[in-house]
Structure 1
Amino acid sequence: MFAFTLLLLLLPLRCVTARVTSSPSDIDGETYDYIVVGGGLAGLTVAGRLTENPSTSVLVVEAGADDRENPEVYDVYEFAVALGAGMPLDWAYPAEEGRTIEAGRTLGGSSSINGATWTRGSKAQYDAWADLLELSEASVGWNWDGMLHYMKKAENFKPPTADQIAKGAESIPAVHGSSGPVHSAFSHGMYGGPQQPAFLASAVNVSGIVHCPDLSAGEPNCVSMTPCSLNYDDNDRRSSSAQSYLTPVEGVRTNWVTLTQHLVTKILWANTTLPLVASGVEFAEYTNTTNGTTRYKAFARKEVIVAAGAIRTPALLQLSGVGDIDILSPLNITTLIDLKTVGKNLQEQTSTLTAANPTNFSADGTGPNNVIAFPSLFQLFGNASDEKIAEINASIPSWAASQAGHGYSAAALETIFRAQADVIINDKAPLIEMFYITSVAGSPTAVISNVWQLLPFSRGIVQIASTDPFEYPAIQVNYFNVSFDLDVQTAGLKLMRKIYKAPPLSELSTGEILPGPLVPDDAEGGSDADWEVWIRDVFTSVAHPVGTAAMMRRELGGVVDAHLKVYDTVNVRVVDASIFPTQLSAHLSSSVYGVAEKAADLIKAAQ
């Protein structure tokens, strides 16, 4: 192993032209300091930071194409046009019950096609990550303070203008970065009509939730206007990771090459005894029409960094012999590391759309949407909160037992669940997001809210079904497998029904139409039984999967340590949302940027 590593270090540094290409001809067989698997949000962030050193060479391999000049990518007003099964920019991973988990299959990954909403989780949720690591790793800084530093490092925030402030925009400048690559701002098209302030006021009036100035300050149990990842000074152009980290240095740096439309099919190893040393990757052409039969190789002097997302990352590890032997052996894959929790611990949020029939008011703008309410257990359950807290505390052992197996022990899950319960009960981490929507196709003045459950206790699995790297892995989310998750979704919808009926929002509609009569109303806001039938029929996946290569101590089921290295490997790291041990009460982008920025510094420190 030492001899091989020394050989790689002695190989000459080949000067590469900083470029994006879909041709493997001058990449096949070449050696780079680092190979990054996945040119999405995290992968391009890490590559951008590593290549700040001109003597460091980086290859990024991305399965999607370079679509930066596609209006479905750069125009945030085109959000959702690119999403859906059969759409070339969307992986559209199929899950059980006919659901789909959307993810960007393009340069920039999901940051190129998502809704661009810019929020952060609660301070306690990031601090809880540190509690799940070894005590000796506490100094690495996986907590609110450490993450805030790196989330700010990624960000270039433009405070709201006087016009935007008049429309309800606010901010706390101290919690935002002002010189990072990723632009965040309120848009030129920010809605100025009565609808967003009305939703905000009704949410406060009905639930008692507070109106706060900024959802990025680590205390999101409130209702507020939020910015988006867009560049106000460039006509609201989407600020994806590709636009932020790659575009400004393309053609300038001579040490970064990005290969698109190629899928990494496995990690190559220099040895077969522990700890494993990655020598590079194997890859093949992957387009909308072609699954390449020719296999190419590229080699890494220092590290292979896996940033393929919470679905594709565990699949690649499994294809490379890192995973549960009980999954790999039946596929005749030699298990090099029997790391049973690879692909386990999947946590995905669930969403339901509700609507009221709008009156003829003016939206006064084009969007994107800004106002979001994040109620906690206490706002959702009101006088029944104590009862729900008692239920959580009493049920954690049985919930843990019900989700155990597949590499996770009941004891480990109980520890993880108690950490999650602590932030829910003691720190009032939001359980529900209510995302107000002003405009949809054919309805310029809609009154709509997406209501989603943020912190599921249900745990799922991602596992390969064959040795074919082009075949999608099997995904079992286990939606609502823990009954409390469905209770929370139901409570959120009941609260949303009350908000529709409360002034001033009630003055902008003639009443709820979805679910409307499908869930008959009564003094309690509808029966739980009726709500649950409707939810199970219509819910969708939010497309925020996390946890499948969790950063935790190994005894709890961790896949990577505090330095993001895969256990029992010398030089393989995971840098994407799969390392989140638990979900956040937030949209994921700002946090994934923070993880990737921090990872880049960890990697540099190890050089």
Structure 2
Amino acid sequence: MFATLVVGFSLGLGLQTLPFVNGAVITDPLLASNKTFDYIVVGGGLAGLTVAGRLSESASITVLVIEAGSDNRQDPRVYDIYRYGQAFQSELDWSYPTDQKKSIRAGKTLGGSSSINGAAWTRGLKQQYDSWIQLLDPADAGSGWDWNGMFSYMKKVSSPLLSPSFLTSSASLMNLAQAEAFSAPNSGQKAKGANSIAAYHGTVGPVQVTFPDLMYGGPQQPAFASAMVKLGLKKYKDLNGGTPNCVSFTPNSINPHDQDHRSSSATAYLSPVESTRTGWTTLVGQQVTKILFSPSTILPRVATGVQFGTASGQRYTAHARKEVILAAGSIGSPALLQLSGIGDATALSKLGIPSIIDLKTVGKNLQEQTLNSVGAGGTNFNFGGSGPSDVIAYPNIYELFGSNAATVVASIQNSLSSWASSQAGSALSAAALQTIYKVQANAIINDKAPVAEMFYNNGSPAKIGLLIWQLLPFSRGTVSIISSNPFTKPQTNVNYFSVDFDLTVQVGVARMARRVFQTAPLSTLSTGETIPGFKNVPDSAVHGSDADWRKWIRSHFFPEVSASWILKLLVYDTKNVRVVDASVMPLQVSAHLSSSLYGIAEKAADIIKSAQ
């Protein structure tokens, strides 16, 4: 999901003293009220804890993280990866409502969505990261927002933005400036299909990544991979080097040293230093309700702190000496900006909110992927383990549509202008959106970026299961607050399938799923498709008609991924308000987002350090 907050491309950026508690996670708001910190991070999720962890490495820096959820690290719904899904629609999930009566999941707990997601660890196509540069100001072309720069932060040691003097004084810290600690598969896991390429992974970062001890060893996962090869995909040892257009066994963000428990941003960046890190305070159970600004109306505006509280309690204030960093997610961050007076001034005035900065595109350009579950019955084969599942296929548009691909490609090339016009109300303008569309279309058509994902899911929704979704939607939506009450959830208009191409791709991947069920060797393990089944979508020479697939997909899809478009970190016309979460991504990538978001947050921390 993408929601543009609109922030600038600039990378630049007499108070009460805090009585520090080393690495404290606190629940008492009075311990942070009226105190002053160098940085206040809004949201203790994946990006927020990563940035806070890096900034607080310096003993002279003070950081306050404010998280609306609780500290649930000891909750089995969080740490036990085999209980994936139990947190959904609970107090650990924001469950944002949408205009299509589908809830968007987002972690409302320490660690955010990294504490409740499926833990799949993949990276997008190299050219997709390189394309981000095309949407930057030419002056920022060498800023490292490309594959080489991002890959270094996702897995390697690299701090290109820091001055030589900073590097010299902080050498011991920078040896750890990477996100990933990958453990290569052992001989038993390799026998089950796992593999890796050492150059694609980091080994000393905080986030533990590996294949599960209880990895499935039955015939089903290799059979799926072999069937996908027969349908035209290549099988790769490891897709994490910027080459996801394949079928591959993929690792998870789980800890091999701790019973395969989840490795979230909370357990990776906070837990190891919780009792020793001075200057870092994490307040849970409190929601930031407003960013506070100095009285001066001269641009750029200067944030002085935040207001926070609970729906039934009083409001408190914390002060920021240097920056306020938003890491509240693709719905939470634009909503907070609007509550703070940054957004469409006309719309905000109707809610009685004084305008601080009139940015009409805050909350626009929302993008959300759609997922369906399909399945087939199985013979009496044994799964050979407990998982999690490990095999993913990422087909490109030519593999997905075969002999019809040329027609689909032509429809993209001929429709960008009309699509942009139809979605202009959810963007800065039709012209601006068409520029973004052209970059995305080039990735799809010329770079063969995967347009869909097929996640082999053992035992769900049937014995042989597949989760399928389109990855690069052209439909756009909006996030808009509907009340000045910060505890009223914003109105999220997702506009699923408002660009018909998105539904065309979803039909294409559903049809490919049916084909893979019927392709050896997976077909030898199958007793036949059960979801949707031939009664709901009758089989045919083309494996089901468009009309039947469309009808079934529309009534059986779910929201999938959260992300947004910014990449600019500093909010326009502010001096010290940054956004560091999925909102900084200028374009979606063909991957699960965790690995990329850790890289973004690691890079953001270096940007913030170098600006001071």
The within-5 A match list for 1:174-323 is: 174-206=199-231, 208-270=232-294, 271-285=296-310, 291-323=311-343
Aligned residue for 2:497? Answer: 480
- Find the aligned partners of 1:90 and 1:45 in 2 and give their Cα distance: 20
1:393-414 deviation digits (Å, cap 9, x = unpaired): 1100000000002452111111
The within-5 A match list for 1:501-512 is: 501-512=518-529
Give the alignment partner of residue 119 of structure 2, picking from 98, 103, 116: 116
1:382-438 deviation digits (Å, cap 9, x = unpaired): 111111111111100000000002452111111100000000011111001000111
Q: Which amino acid aligns with 1:235?
A: Q
Of stretches 432-441 and 221-230 in structure 1, the one that deviates more from structure 2 is: 432-441
Aligned residue for 1:555? Answer: none
> 1:100 Cα shift?
1.0
CA contact (8 A) 2:100 2:494 kept: no
Give the alignment partner of residue 411 of structure 2, picking from 391, 398, 404: 391
Give the alignment partner of residue 428 of structure 1, picking from 438, 445, 448: 448
Give the alignment partner of residue 553 of structure 2, picking from 535, 545, 550: 535
Q: Which amino acid aligns with 1:600?
A: A
Q: TM-score, normalised by structure 2?
A: 0.93
- Find the aligned partners of 2:399 and 2:426 in 1 and give their Cα distance: 35
The within-5 A match list for 1:66-215 is: 66-84=71-89, 87-152=90-155, 153-206=178-231, 208-215=232-239
> What is the DSSP-based 3-state SS (H/G/I as helix, E as strand, rest coil) of the residue aligned with 2:530?
strand
CA contact (8 A) 1:327 1:463 kept: no
- Find the aligned partners of 1:59 and 1:475 in 2 and give their Cα distance: 29
> 1:71 Cα shift?
0.7
1:15-60 deviation digits (Å, cap 9, x = unpaired): 3432101101121000000000000000000000001001000000
> What is the DSSP-based 3-state SS (H/G/I as helix, E as strand, rest coil) of the residue aligned with 2:350?
helix
Shift in alpha-carbon separation, 1:407–1:200, aligned structure 2, 3 A: closer
> What is the DSSP-based 3-state SS (H/G/I as helix, E as strand, rest coil) of the residue aligned with 2:31?
coil
Shift in alpha-carbon separation, 1:406–1:387, aligned structure 2, 3 A: closer
Q: TM-score, normalised by structure 1?
A: 0.93
Aligned residue for 2:30? Answer: 25
CA contact (8 A) 2:460 2:466 kept: no
> 1:326 Cα shift?
3.0
CA contact (8 A) 1:50 1:58 kept: yes
Aligned residue for 2:354? Answer: 334
Shift in alpha-carbon separation, 1:417–1:351, aligned structure 2, 3 A: same
Shift in alpha-carbon separation, 1:114–1:384, aligned structure 2, 3 A: same
Corresponding position: 1:53 with 2:78: no
Give the alignment partner of residue 574 of structure 1, picking from 579, 590, 596: 579
- Find the aligned partners of 1:281 and 1:508 in 2 and give their Cα distance: 57
CA contact (8 A) 2:214 2:385 kept: yes
- Find the aligned partners of 2:242 and 2:288 in 1 and give their Cα distance: 36
- Find the aligned partners of 1:106 and 1:74 in 2 and give their Cα distance: 12
Corresponding position: 1:343 with 2:363: yes
> What is the DSSP-based 3-state SS (H/G/I as helix, E as strand, rest coil) of the residue aligned with 1:266?
strand
> 1:273 Cα shift?
2.9
CA contact (8 A) 1:346 1:545 kept: no
The within-5 A match list for 1:389-428 is: 389-428=409-448
- Find the aligned partners of 1:18 and 1:351 in 2 and give their Cα distance: 39
1:423-467 deviation digits (Å, cap 9, x = unpaired): 0011111001000111349x7xx1010110100000110010000
Aligned residue for 1:550? Answer: 566
> What is the DSSP-based 3-state SS (H/G/I as helix, E as strand, rest coil) of the residue aligned with 2:541?
coil
CA contact (8 A) 2:18 2:35 kept: no
- Find the aligned partners of 2:128 and 2:487 in 1 and give their Cα distance: 35
- Find the aligned partners of 1:326 and 1:239 in 2 and give their Cα distance: 44
Q: Which amino acid aligns with 1:197?
A: P
> What is the DSSP-based 3-state SS (H/G/I as helix, E as strand, rest coil) of the residue aligned with 1:193?
coil
- Find the aligned partners of 1:344 and 1:396 in 2 and give their Cα distance: 18
> What is the DSSP-based 3-state SS (H/G/I as helix, E as strand, rest coil) of the residue aligned with 2:109?
coil
Bigger relative CO (Cα 8 Å, ≥ 6 apart): 2
1:450-501 deviation digits (Å, cap 9, x = unpaired): 1101000001100100001001000011100100000000010111100000
Shift in alpha-carbon separation, 1:15–1:121, aligned structure 2, 3 A: same
Aligned residue for 1:525? Answer: 543
CA contact (8 A) 1:340 1:407 kept: no
Structure 1: which 5+ residue stretches go unaligned?
1-6, 286-290, 552-560
CA contact (8 A) 1:323 1:342 kept: yes
In the alignment of these two chains, the number of paired residues is: 575
CA contact (8 A) 2:454 2:468 kept: yes
1:494-539 deviation digits (Å, cap 9, x = unpaired): 1110000011001111110111120001001111011001110111
> 1:13 Cα shift?
6.2
CA contact (8 A) 1:546 1:581 kept: no
Q: Which amino acid aligns with 2:554?
A: R
Of stretches 326-335 and 69-78 in structure 1, the one that deviates more from structure 2 is: 326-335
- Find the aligned partners of 2:425 and 2:255 in 1 and give their Cα distance: 46
Aligned residue for 2:3? Answer: none
Aligned residue for 1:452? Answer: 469
> 1:584 Cα shift?
1.2
Aligned residue for 1:4? Answer: none
- Find the aligned partners of 1:510 and 1:406 in 2 and give their Cα distance: 45
Of stretches 431-440 and 456-465 in structure 1, the one that deviates more from structure 2 is: 431-440
Shift in alpha-carbon separation, 1:511–1:407, aligned structure 2, 3 A: closer
CA contact (8 A) 1:353 1:514 kept: yes
> What is the DSSP-based 3-state SS (H/G/I as helix, E as strand, rest coil) of the residue aligned with 2:366?
coil
Q: Which amino acid aligns with 2:316?
A: Y
Structure 2: which 5+ residue stretches go unaligned?
1-13, 156-177
